[in-house]
Amino acid sequence: MVFNLFMPNIDFEQALFEYKSQHQTVGCIVTHMFGVPMIALSFPLALINPRKSLSYFVLGWALQLLGHYYFEKNKPVLFTKSGKNFWVPIVALYMVGKYWRAVLTGNVSIERQNGKVKLLPYRQ
């Protein structure tokens, strides 16, 4: 029972599916490739340099909002009901890592699907 207090019974795969459905365009993905690490880095950086930490946090969120409102035409997942999911920040870091790995290894594909330009973390 105590385990459920710290690890809610939420499916990682479902959170991953929801995340991918809200992050479809190249613009949104690229802004997240920079914004998500900046937000994550801002937390430990707060112990060393609070001012720089705040700058990273604000700029990271500005990139997130730009990606969603300008490119994706939706709200960030954290601002939705499914954003309360325990796995959302973990899935965001996982996907950003997956995209960075694909870009750095050259195993990335850009293609048009359903009227949107998509960045896929693998070659077709």
Q: What are the extents of the domains in the chain?
A: 12-120
Please report the pLDDT score of residue 60 as a whole number: 97
Residue 84 has pLDDT above 70, yes or no: no
Q: Taking a C-beta distance cutoff of 8 angstroms, is the pair 96, 119 a contact? A: no
Please report the pLDDT score of residue 96 as a whole number: 92
CA distance 11 to 124: 28
Report the mean per-residue pLDDT for the chain: 83
The model's pLDDT over 60-83, given as tens digits with 9 standing for 90+, comes to 999 999 999 999 888 887 777 666
Least confident of 2-11, 75-84, 88-97, 102-111: 2-11
3-state secondary structure the chain: CHHHHHCCCCCHHHHHHHHHHCCCCHHHHHHHHHHHHHHHHHHHHCCCCHHHHHHHHHHHHHHHHHHHHHHHCCCCHHHCHHHHCCCHHHHHHHHHHHHHHHHHHCCCEEEEECCEEEEECCCC
The model's pLDDT over 9-37, given as tens digits with 9 standing for 90+, comes to 567 888 888 888 888 888 999 999 999 99
Token duo for residue 55: 């700058």
Residue 122 has pLDDT above 70, yes or no: no
